[in-house]
Chain A
């Protein structure tokens, strides 16, 4: 039982490149979300999903896309990376909203 896994752990991108951050869970949780963590700003919600096929925007969705084709996976796509997207990204899951969330180990992304 791996819980919440995220890949990659570290990534460096050049401005304008695109990439996908992977998030997978094996807990059969309905609710999944993506946050970015920046110093002094806490965690800010990017996108979330209450179940397969359903996604919605959080506080800071611009520049990011998500999809939820299965219960287990919730990838986050950066369409055209910008230095402002340099951050640590956390995926989190919950049995259902609004129960407590379980966090993955994070992906540290640097955009140069």
Chain B
């Protein structure tokens, strides 16, 4: 079955630490890839997206992600996290429809 996997369920970091959140998918063929963020009490907002071209994409708030086709991965990175990055992060993949991973909760300690 088609699926999206986020292996880190809860990540705790101190401010200024670097972040990498994993995302793998099992779809074959052409896919479009997204990372969404959900701040506490809010709805989902788009962080970044990949459709084609340069596999390293930059999003808002200093986030970036790299698409590695051979590994079916689309990992999210940020060089230096801030307390305000505390949120839940969701990877999503479109094929016939849009499917989401289970999410990774990020807690940044001040």
Q: Interface residues, chain A, CB within 8 Å of chain B?
A: 33, 35, 40-45, 48, 56, 58-59, 90, 92, 97-98, 100-106
List the A residue with the shortest CB-CB distance to B1.
A59
User: Majority SS of interface residues in chain B?
Assistant: strand
Cβ contact within 8 Å between A104 and B100: no
A87 to chain B, nearest CB (A): 14
Collect the chain A residues with CB atoms within 8 Å of residue B94's CB: 97-98
Q: Interface size for chain B: under 10, 10 to 19, 20 to 34, or 35 or more residues?
A: 20 to 34
B44 located at the interface, meaning its Cβ lies under 8 Å from any Cβ of chain A in the complex:
yes
Q: Interface residues, chain B, CB within 8 Å of chain A?
A: 4, 6, 9, 32, 34, 43-46, 49, 90, 92, 94, 97-103
Of the candidates B43, B46, B90, the one whose C-beta lies within 8 Å of that of A42 is B90
Cβ contact within 8 Å between B90 and A40: no
How many A-B pairs with Cβ below 8 Å? 48
Cβ contact within 8 Å between A58 and B97: yes
Collect the chain A residues with CB atoms within 8 Å of residue B4's CB: 42
Of the candidates A44, A98, A100, the one whose C-beta lies within 8 Å of that of B100 is A44
Cβ contact within 8 Å between A98 and B102: no
Cβ contact within 8 Å between A42 and B100: yes
Cβ contact within 8 Å between B90 and A43: yes
Cβ contact within 8 Å between B98 and A98: yes
A89 to chain B, nearest CB (A): 11
Cβ contact within 8 Å between A98 and B32: yes
Collect the chain A residues with CB atoms within 8 Å of residue B49's CB: 100
